[in-house]
Amino acid sequence: MRFQYRILNILLAAAVLVSLSACGPSPDPSSASSNGASQSAASTPRNRMPSDPALKSLYIQSCYGCHSTGVASAPRSGNTADWAPRLQKGMNVLLHNTINGINSMPPKGMCIGCSDEEFTRLILFLSGQSE
């Protein structure tokens, strides 16, 4: 029991460190709430989830692995600063790049069965324009 407790503590400490470092260089997302993006103060890229259960499971299976922590400089979920330059490209380009892949982003973001509509909803969620 005692050993397990120690492991749990180490895991917790590691999780805190990872989430701290993931938020480190970027501005606090909650300070950007004045632009109308609906974001709760406790929301971080790692614990943000779509409110629709079906979209949530697609998100967890595909996009979450990279976009929650910013693997290979993937724009982080709900991070206004990460997404601002992407959104300037327009939704059609973002959808096209999601389906065909761009640099380290694999084609279809590893969601082979996702429809265009689901990709659009996932992009809106990732970029902080929907919950």
Which residues are at the interface with ligand HEC (CB under 6 A)?
62-63, 65-67, 71-75, 86, 89, 93-94, 97-98, 102-106, 109-111, 114, 119, 122-123, 126
DSSP state of 44: -
Closer to ligand HEC by Cβ: residue 49 or 126: 126
Q: Compute the distance between CA of residue 39 and CA of residue 91 in angstroms, rounded to an integer.
A: 21
Minimal CB distance residue for ligand HEC: 109
Closer to ligand HEC by Cβ: residue 46 or 86: 86
List of E strands, 35-112: none
Helix (H, G, I), strand (E, B) or coil at 113: coil
Q: Compute the distance between CA of residue 95 and CA of residue 106 in angstroms, rounded to an integer.
A: 13
Task: Return the closest-CA partner of residue 22 out of 61, 84, 79.
Answer: 79
Amino acid at 10: I
Closer to ligand HEC by Cβ: residue 27 or 90: 90
Give least dist CB 94 to ligand HEC, A: 4
Give least dist CB 2 to ligand HEC, A: 38
